[in-house]
Amino acid sequence: MSEVTSTAETVDVPLTAQGGPSGDDADAPAEEAQRLAERGSNRSQRPTSQAFRDFIADGWAPRPAPPQRLAAAPWAAARRERISASFPGDRLVLPAGPLKVRSNDTDYRFRPHSAFAHLTGLGADREPDAVLVLEPQAGGGHEALLFFRPRAERTTEEFWADARYGEFWVGVRPSLEDVEAELGLACRHVDGLAAALTGPLPSPDGVVRVVPDADPAVNALVEPDRTAPRDDDGGEGRDPGAELAEALSELRLVKDAWEVEQLQEAVAATVAGFADVARSLRAAVRHERGERVVESAFEGVARREGNGVGYETIAAAGPHACTLHWIRNDGPVRPGQLVLVDAGVEATSLYTADVTRTLPVDGRFSPPQRRVYQAVLDAADAAFAVARPGSRFRDLHAAAMEVVAARLEEWGLLPVSAAEALDPATGGQHRRWMVHGTSHHLGLDVHDCAQARREMYLDAELVPGMVFTIEPGLYFKADDLLVPEELRGTGVRIEDDVLVTEDGCVNLSAALPRRPADVEEWMASLR
């Protein structure tokens, strides 16, 4: 990786001319102590002469014309109108978030905050430090303004010297005109953000609502008394930022047609990734970190076909499958085991799939493995049967748990009857072997709509356009003395992505086999 430069660095001249530790300068008095923040440049030899600056600023081709309008732009505009109607007179502030340091002077790949992406239509890695401001208008409604850091002119030092934003280092950034053309909203330089956030509001009752925890630097720009919680009588009330986050989360509970297309794209790429997982199992068995072989097989597809993975891939072989979020993925993959793979491709638009399959490493289930797998599949099918308009979200889990409890009772594992275990007040024994929920909403976040109110999520009726997972499982830990030895160390989860329609639901991930015989046939076709 190339050296990173900063603003005050060494001219490209011989060491002896820089006052090095030898020759006449050896006994020179020590310079004033250098600040820590400036020491990253000590290894660099960046050119700084005026001749260089003049030369690098000249001789470049004209910039291309602004790009076409993004397909997401009109959908994002409609969402802005809906959120505007919920907060008349208030300034709404949605940061994309800052770059985050991975180590020293290297950053993680940037991903914008999901609320920002939802209301702008920008995906992939766009745009660090950007802020969408919905500015209230005296006549009602809001004007959308996007503040971001546009590309620097070629005559500036940022163009060639700034390792975080410079064109030589991170590629060409868009201009204000480029993004205005893409999104159809007004764009401003981020340098004007502070003035915009502290300006007067058209109504004395208006407040400034900032999405919490998206960008601390943006929060710091807003005067505390303008974001203070208050009720209708002027006393202390709900946090304005929390109310905004809640509304933005609930805005995503029902997906529009464009969002459904993005999720279908993410699921299709995920299905392709699972095919590469199945193909990788022979190589995984031969490697001491076979789980990493499985993980990398999927993630290669995710990077080629999408933005990457929507969350850390779970590649859990053997007893590791009983750890619900096993992401270390450093164990072996052995013949005769099951490998549980929970993975999803994130599309360039940032919508993610979330699919789990539990595969027999040898290509065929053993009788005990098949028994557990079929029980989980039956539980999933029971949830699918109630995934239709008019059912409540909580009904998905209840239907799956009835099957899980019944199977555990049949196998003699419950200390009480299935009916007693299902009693919410005195039961729950069946949950020893499935402690997680059966479903969650899916979209820009793998656990989408997480700030929605209970009555809008768990207790809500299902309506067309909702997208969620169905993912029951059974997990018999290797040290669980209450289960037969042949089941210990066996973990199975089957997870699909589901779209509610007018008359039922569609399994978006149906292209990936679910039934034991179909899984075996599919795996054989890939070998």
Residue by residue, DSSP assigns 35-47 as: PGGGGGGTT----
Least confidently predicted of 31-45, 110-124, 127-141, 245-259: 31-45
Per DSSP, the three-state class of 106 is strand
Q: What is the pLDDT of residue 45?
A: 80
Mean pLDDT of 154-158: 95
For residues 116 and 122, is the Cβ–Cβ distance under 8 A? Answer: yes
For residues 365 and 483, is the Cβ–Cβ distance under 8 A? Answer: no
Instruction: Count the Cβ atoms, other than its own, within 10 Å of residue 128.
Output: 22
How far from 243 is each of 131, 209, 282, 394, 456, CA to CA, in Å? 18, 8, 51, 24, 14
The model's pLDDT over 89-110, given as tens digits with 9 standing for 90+, comes to 999 999 999 999 999 989 999 9
**Residue whose pair of structure tokens reads 């001789």 in the numeric block:** 59
Rounded CA separation 18/9 (Å) = 12
| pLDDT-above-90 percentage for the chain | 87
Mean pLDDT of 497-509: 98
Q: What is the pLDDT of residue 224?
A: 75
pLDDT of 76 > 90? The answer is yes
Six token digits for residue 296: 């990398």
List helix spans (H) across 288-423. Answer: 290-305, 367-385, 393-410, 418-421
The model's pLDDT over 373-422, given as tens digits with 9 standing for 90+, comes to 999 999 999 999 999 999 999 999 999 999 999 999 999 999 999 999 99
Q: Mean pLDDT over all residues of the chain?
A: 93
Q: What is the pLDDT of residue 14?
A: 38
The secondary element (H helix, E strand) that includes residue 274 is: helix 257-286
The model's pLDDT over 118-147, given as tens digits with 9 standing for 90+, comes to 999 999 999 999 999 999 999 999 999 999
For residues 487 and 368, is the Cβ–Cβ distance under 8 A? Answer: yes
**Residue whose pair of structure tokens reads 């997680």 in the numeric block:** 436
pLDDT of 4 > 80? The answer is no
Q: What is the pLDDT of residue 38?
A: 79
pLDDT of 287 > 70? The answer is yes
pTM: 0.92
